[in-house]
Structure 1
Amino acid sequence: MKNLNLRKLAGALAIAAAGLNASGTSVAAEPALGVETLNVGIANNKPWAYKDTDGQVKGVNADILRAVFEPLGVKQFNFVVGDFGSLIPGLLSKRYDVVDSGVVITPARCKLVNFGDPELTSLDALLVAKGNPKNLHSFADVIRNPDVKIGGSRGGQQTKNAATAGVTGEKLQQFQNTETTVSALLAHRVDGVVFTSGTALSLQQRPELASQIERAKPFTGLIDPKTGKETESYIGAAFGKDGVKLRDAYNTQLAKLKADGTIGKIMRKYGFADNEKAPAGLTSAKVCAE
């Protein structure tokens, strides 16, 4: 009887051990990440990550973060709003665990932070007054016309792209954030404002702006001298240099969500097209090395 009881106990322990090792529920309850709360830096910029009128944080990046980390055991997301230019400094000072708010992966930023693999891609877009009165269809048009000025968000990659294309000095005005940049266009302080195509799309859809602004079409953004094609910007989540474990777990789950169509569904919810998906197999390491 004693031996029988010992065998039953051993069997029960073996079953329990197997459940702890193999059960998705158990892993979620005791995730390898060891975190249940994430502090997330966002710039309150549609359609990326923003607080809506109901107080809820929405946006393509915010929804992707939830879809990635909730199955890994994260239960609470503390979204902290700051100016776009303060996001990476906030990450470096450990104010945030992750930043995901329309941040473009660039080699310069890669030296400071660990990026997750690209979530989606975006091109340079120029918003102008209704009717495009200055007939602007490229950065070259801006440079050629001595009376034209454009604006962009301080620290934004599209602002940097304009400068790289040759729009410099007084011709390129920089503003604190998306809202002040658009306000400058409405006040005729600038003739156009440059954003990612995703941000431009969202701004066009605002009822109070729809009758006043439009996206310059066609528009040729920064040209990659190596390919002769427009430079694509890849949007991704940024983690601290000590956040490798978090970033790696993120990448693994993100790949699964791309494969099962979840990422595409989230993108379409916010007005993105299928051709704005990140290329299959593209990693942040490859983008950082370009």
Structure 2
Amino acid sequence: MRQIVIIIASLLLISSVSAETLNARIEAGKPVRLGFANEKPWAYLDSDGKPTGLINDYTIDILNRMGINHIEPVFTEWGGLIPGLRAKRFDIITGGMYILSSRCQKIAFSEPIGRFRDAFIVPKGNPKDIHDYPDVVRESARLVTGVGYNMTNSARDAGLSESLIIQVPGPTEILSAVKEGRAEVGAVPYFTALYLAKQAPDSLSVSDPARATSQTRHYIGIGFRKEDNAFVELFDEAQAKYMGSQQMLERVKKYGYREAQYPDGIATSQLCQRQ
């Protein structure tokens, strides 16, 4: 009988934990856990182990405005962000994730925080004149990108052979593959491309996203579990007041974020319906 009671108590505890919303965690005094991969300049840990980067700084400012200061970072690989959020290993994805319909089926997003395009790191001078996915296909170039990145599907949709697509854990491996000649193109978000090219200025260049005529402009949002929609509404209210404020401008300008990246009025609900 005692064993049965223990089992029932354990099941009730598991059920309680699994049903816990983010609002309930906060009310209980528990930390809000930010989940992200180590991807500069979007989200990473500084030398003191504190969360920093464009999306972390942006999100933390908004949480502070909401009166939330108990925050913890949780580091994982990019491909583990959505599974980790759904498994409640952390509460918010701050990795700089594009709002895509395939992702909207699994998680909830805040309203967009900015609009961006993909870009490529290429050999110095961009000798094959690659600026868009059709250019990659034209040159039959080997393309490297990260596991779970939308760039894989973009390359496939453009018609690039599966044998020419290389998937690696993240930016460090993408940089190495292009530098070492194992790939001719590294596909990443534009800000990531700028950062990576700075690591090897004598050997790498960045494509011009303005010449990427086939690309849809992508919008980044903060990721939440679907059951935390009540919190997302509060976050969006705080974000609307933060967007374009002096505090925001001073916080994000060092990462290259400018007015050109401001959301242009499109709603997350509309982006989630895009195919």
TM-score normalised by L of structure 1: 0.80
Shift of 1:273: 2.5
Q: Which residue of 2 aligns with 1:6?
A: none
Q: Give the C-alpha shift of residue 48 in structure 1.
A: 0.8
Larger Rg: 1
Q: 8 Å contact 2:190–2:209 — kept in the other structure? A: no
Runs of 5+ in structure 2 lacking a partner? Answer: 1-22
Q: Displacement, 1:220?
A: 4.2
SS in 2 for 1:237: strand
Tell me if the contact between 1:41 and 1:98 (Cα under 8 Å) persists in the aligned partners. yes
- Residue 287 (structure 1) shift: 1.2
Q: Percent identity?
A: 27
Change (3 A) 1:222 1:247: farther
Q: Is 1:248 aligned to residue 233 of structure 2?
A: yes
| Mapped pair 1:79 → 2:73 | yes
Paired residues in the alignment total 251
Distance in structure 2 (CA, Å) of the matches to 1:274 and 1:244: 28
The Cα shift of 1:91 comes to 0.6
**2:54 corresponds to which residue?**
60
Contact 1:105 1:233 survives alignment (8 Å): yes
Contact 1:165 1:222 in 2 (8 A): no
Cα deviation code 1:57-84 (max 9, x no counterpart): 2111001111111122212221111110
AA aligned opposite 1:134? K
Cα distance in 1, alignment partners of residues 232 and 132 from structure 2 = 36
The 2-side partners of 1:57 and 1:114 are apart by 22
TM-score, scaled to structure 2: 0.84
* 2:14 paired residue number: none
Structure 2 CA distance for aligned equivalents of residues 188 and 199 of structure 1: 19
**Secondary structure at 1:101 match in 2:** strand
Q: CA deviation at 1:145?
A: 2.2
Give yes or no for contact 2:117–2:209 (8 Å, CA) kept in 1: no
1:190-229 to 2 correspondences below 5 Å:
190-206=183-199, 209-217=200-208, 220-221=211-212, 223=214
Query: Which residue identity does 1:201 align to in structure 2?
Result: L
- The 1:32/1:174 distance shift into structure 2, 3 A limit, reads closer
Partner of 1:102, secondary structure, is strand
Asked if 1:263 is matched to 2:227, the reply is no
Task: Find the residue that maps to 1:235 and give its secondary structure.
Answer: strand
CA distance in 1, matches of 2:211, 2:42: 23
Cα distance in 1 for partners of 2:31, 2:85 equals 16
